[in-house]
Amino acid sequence: MIKFLDKLFGDANEKFLKTLQPQIDAINILEQEFAKLSDQEIKAKSLNLKQKIKDGTKLDDVLVPAFALVKVAAKKTLKQSPYDVQLLGGIVLHQGQIAEMKTGEGKTLTSTLPIYLNALGNNGVHVITVNDYLAKRDTVWMSKIYSFLGLSVGVIAHDAAFLYDPNYESAKDNDSSVKIDMEYLRPVSRKEAYQADITYGTNNEFGFDYLRDNMTQDSERQVQRGLHYALIDEVDSVLIDEARTPLIISAPAEQSTERYGQFAQMIDGLKENEDYNIDEKMKACTLTEEGVQKMEKLLGVDNIYESHGMESIHHIESALKAKTLFTKDVNYVVKDNEIIIIDEFTGRMMPGRRYSEGLHQAIEAKEGVEVQRESMTLATVTFQNYFRMYKKLAGMTGTAATEAEEMAKIYSLDVTVIPTNKPFARDDQGDRIYKNYRGKLKAIVREIKARHEKGQPVLVGTISIEKNEELGNLLDKAGIPHNLLNAKFHEKEAEIIAQAGRKGAVTVATNMAGRGVDIILGGAPYDKAKYEEIIKLGGLHVLGTERHESRRIDNQLRGRSGRQGDIGSSRFYISMEDDLMRVFGSDRMKNVMDKLGLAEDVPIENKIISNSIESAQKKVEGHNFDIRKHLVEYDDIINKHRQVVYGSRQQLLEIFSDKEHKSERTSQDIVLEYVNKEIENVVSFHTLSGKNTSDFDPKEILETIKSIFLLESAEENKLKELLDINGKTNSHVNRDTLIEYIDSIAKEKYLKLTEDINTHVTMDDKTWTPMQIIERSIVLKSIDTLWVEHLTAMDKLRTGIGLQGYGQRDPLVEYKREAFTLFNTLLDAIRKQIVYSVFKISLKRNTVSGGNKAPRPGESQKVFEEQKQGYQPFQKQVTNREAKNTAVSNKPTDASGQRIGRNDPCYCGSGKKYKKCHGA
């Protein structure tokens, strides 16, 4: 039916390519003019194009001269000139599509056309390859063109970064079995490599750098400079095969499991209304000043918010919530040594679900069950969502048409098939089908031996390492020399593949996708006589030992033969015991073969069976696509959270790193905005509206504000008066008035605190004040810590949400609903963490016998002056990178005045080493 429609209406792909022909003609005409110019004149033309783009000219408007310049540069530097079909491929790639070009059609050279054009925009072009070898090889190879045209090129490897520098010379990489010309790659920082006009690297490196950039505490340490245009080589391998597994940066959470029990015991000794207050309406609880002092005494520190940092604060809050707000057999049950949450709406247990922000572990510690140790996810992103962040995305491969639907639905990428430069000449022979697996192997070895003895090179494709090595053993027994290529020998892949076309070569390889190295008939380097000899023998023969569940993988294997119009052949060998045949009901056909009395190594060639195999592959492809689509639907939810958090974090980071103070906002403005929002939230929650109302809880407002910062007597009396706590009626209280008054107190105290910190703390780096460093650290640490806990909560939610299906609920809908709640909780928690932390900062005395501790924020100037006598301000020099989330105190000293080392006994007398006790 489709073929009939193509004849009736014409092929859409062919029609589209015809519309590009005028541009191809214009490029070729202009190239002839540019070819007459000197090298310097050509480079000047290139720089002129770059200036035009800077002045506002669109990239599309300079496509013709840009492609013409690349053609000239390629001929001068590589002695190659892109064919018209390569120009077609270049235009398609520039337009943000996928160009399907058969193996050997010169995709690497084709890519230089859109890469150069988009690099003129000075925003950086990212070229993604499937391994470090190809990233370096393509950089060295293609940079000759870019450098000739005045552009810089960097490359990101797993453990290094380089810039292409024609004037740089270094020793060749003699330790590598793969010969890569590294003479012009000068080692640089990753940031310098990203600052280049063009940057090569693998999908993993680009993705991990993106995550690391969103974890750094200083914008100067970020390496990427935005995601503008990405061109992906072997795009189906990257966006489909490798996209099944997300990128994750994680860290062990070993300490937290031990400390949950310690904090559960500490909290258990606190008393309500004395050490903490419970706000049942908000389902919140906070320590009173007395409670804070008790915790500090138990921990043996002067100020818990300084000495132990964010981690201890989280433990305290989680333990307090577990004790006061969550009840056994109401909110959860203990079953099989596990805490299982009870759904508050249905009363059903929800196994697999866990409370977030360390609360679940705190409840486990409270109930005395095993606290589960988890690998804490610090940052994660799927390839789908990472690459969709680029403003423009393109890709090239030899096999994308079979995955066109997925590329369109997931990535909004259209697939355009580019015709070959020369007529296609490979002979794709019909499948040979055998009764059983053993008979198929006999036939395969026999076929390989016959072709090897004739001298024809053979490439054998297997689907696993196990079967790869099994066939290798059979070839050894048959006395057939061969090369094995699988994951165990991946470092030799380029060398093995490059020689797979020599006379008599037998190469047994697993998945051939994305190898990136052409098989040259006669072997590398190219030799015309050897090449013609192999052509006479029939070219390269590809032998597939079984069908893959994806037609695309089969086509990739076949594509290794018949490059650039070369003759070649391919055939797949199948048995009724292959997984694909067994799963899709081949019993009847096997019975027919048994009745025919066929020997196990005698094949049949049946078009019906071959078509049924292809039909089965389509079904499997559709099923796998549905699975990936389903996973993306879930990941899209957390990706929205990531965009909000990372976007806000980046804005804050730029303000915090604004050394030239160009931003209208400062770190102090940001903190005070959080404070104001929290005050509004507290007051608004306990009042119905801005109008006068009697339906509010004045005592809860007072206690909550006192838990944020200390009130002096006059301030507390004034607030009580506004709240009318001692009056008979609450009808005259106005919410806006309350917020305005409390906010004014908060601002005054924070400005006073800022003055104290900046006065008593000295720094080497004069760019930032001590308080600015503290503000930045508190805000970023709060966001990062709570974001990590949110990722854990979302992961647990995803794990258990499938059970909603048993309750006739759509798991995806429930996931979205609960994720929305979790995300709002995250935003509230970040704000609360920042606000409750900033007012707990104080300067500390050195630890001396009988000394008084430093004043708390909010104490009057008079009290501060009284305690100032004998006070030794903190003098440690603090730099941007060393700054902690609060002003750091000097290390404790022993009785003799010597500083305590990490392995010395702790000063508290516990008998433990300092690093295992208060130095933890």
From edge to edge, which strands make up the β-sheet containing 332-335? 332-335, 338-342, 349-350
> Region 588-610: what's the mean pLDDT?
70
Is the pLDDT confidence value at 806 over 80?
no
Is the pLDDT confidence value at 355 over 80?
no
What are 574's strand-pairing partners?
A: 433
- Tell which phi-psi region holds residue 852, choosing left (phi > 0), alpha (psi between -120 and 50) or beta: beta
CB 789 within 8 A of CB 357: yes
Residue at token pair 């501060």? 864
Identify the pLDDT of residue 582: 72
Query: Which residues, including other chains, have CB under 8 Å from residue 714's CB and lie 6 or more apart?
Result: none
Identify the pLDDT of residue 901: 58
Identify the pLDDT of residue 802: 61
Identify the pLDDT of residue 841: 77
pLDDT band at 621 (very low <50, low <70, confident <90, very high): confident
pLDDT band at 773 (very low <50, low <70, confident <90, very high): confident
Provide the residue type at 379 as one letter.
Answer: A
> Region 481-494: what's the mean pLDDT?
69
pLDDT band at 133 (very low <50, low <70, confident <90, very high): confident
Is the pLDDT confidence value at 849 over 50?
no
Q: Please give the Cα distance from 693 to 308 (Å, whole number).
A: 42
pLDDT band at 242 (very low <50, low <70, confident <90, very high): confident
Query: Which residues, including other chains, have CB under 8 Å from residue 764's CB and lie 6 or more apart?
Result: 877, 878, 879
Q: Work out whether strand 375-381 and strand 426-428 pair parallel, antiparallel, or are unpaired.
A: unpaired
Cβ burial of 186 (10 Å; 0-12, 13-18, 19+) is middle
Strand blocks (E) in 358-436: 375-381, 392-397, 415-417, 426-428, 432-434
> Region 243-269: what's the mean pLDDT?
77
Q: Please give the Cα distance from 158 to 515 (Å, whole number).
A: 18
Identify the pLDDT of residue 887: 30
Cβ burial of 598 (10 Å; 0-12, 13-18, 19+) is middle
Is the pLDDT confidence value at 757 over 70?
yes
Identify the pLDDT of residue 905: 64
Is the pLDDT confidence value at 9 over 60?
no
Identify the pLDDT of residue 493: 67
Candidates 279, 368, 290; CA nearest to 325 is 279
Identify the pLDDT of residue 515: 54
The predicted-structure confidence for 644-689, as pLDDT tens digits, reads as follows 999 999 988 888 877 666 777 888 888 899 999 998 888 887 775 5
CB 859 within 8 A of CB 865: no
Is the pLDDT confidence value at 346 over 50?
no
Candidates 417, 404, 416, 469; CA nearest to 441 is 469
- DSSP notation for 51-84: HHHHTT--GGGGHHHHHHHHHHHHHHHTS----H
- The three-state DSSP-derived secondary structure of 609-655 is HHHHHHHHHHHHHHHHHHHHHHHHHHHHHHHHHHHHHHHHHHHHHHH
Q: Please give the Cα distance from 487 to 11 (Å, whole number).
A: 40
Please state, in angstroms and as integers, the Cα–Cα distance from residue 223 to each residue in 72, 123, 190, following that order.
33, 14, 6
Is the pLDDT confidence value at 396 over 90?
yes
Q: Please give the Cα distance from 848 to 233 (Å, whole number).
A: 65
Six-digit token pair at 161?
């970064």
Identify the pLDDT of residue 253: 61
Provide the residue type at 597 as one letter.
Answer: G
Is the pLDDT confidence value at 878 over 50?
no
Identify the top-confidence range among 84-93, 99-108, 463-472.
84-93
Candidates 671, 699, 705, 697; CA nearest to 782 is 671
pLDDT band at 395 (very low <50, low <70, confident <90, very high): very high
Identify the pLDDT of residue 917: 55
Identify the pLDDT of residue 306: 61
Six-digit token pair at 82?
């892109």
The predicted-structure confidence for 72-101, as pLDDT tens digits, reads as follows 999 999 999 999 999 999 999 999 999 999
Lowest mean pLDDT among 468-482, 784-798, 854-868: 854-868
The predicted-structure confidence for 536-549, as pLDDT tens digits, reads as follows 999 999 999 988 87
- DSSP notation for 771-786: HHHHHHHHHHHHHHHH
pLDDT band at 763 (very low <50, low <70, confident <90, very high): low
For the chain, percent helix, then strand, then coil, each to nearest 5?
50, 10, 35
pLDDT band at 398 (very low <50, low <70, confident <90, very high): confident
The predicted-structure confidence for 807-834, as pLDDT tens digits, reads as follows 567 788 888 888 999 999 999 999 999 9
Please state, in angstroms and as integers, the Cα–Cα distance from residue 492 to each residue in 134, 185, 517, 557, following that order.
13, 22, 12, 19
Mean pLDDT of the chain: 79
Identify the pLDDT of residue 772: 85
The predicted-structure confidence for 163-217, as pLDDT tens digits, reads as follows 999 888 754 444 443 345 567 899 999 999 999 999 999 998 999 999 999 998 8
Identify the pLDDT of residue 414: 92
pLDDT band at 868 (very low <50, low <70, confident <90, very high): very low
Candidates 76, 156, 136, 87; CA nearest to 116 is 87
> Region 430-442: what's the mean pLDDT?
88
Q: Please give the Cα distance from 378 to 249 (Å, whole number).
A: 6
Read off the pTM. Answer: 0.73
Candidates 260, 503, 515; CA nearest to 368 is 260
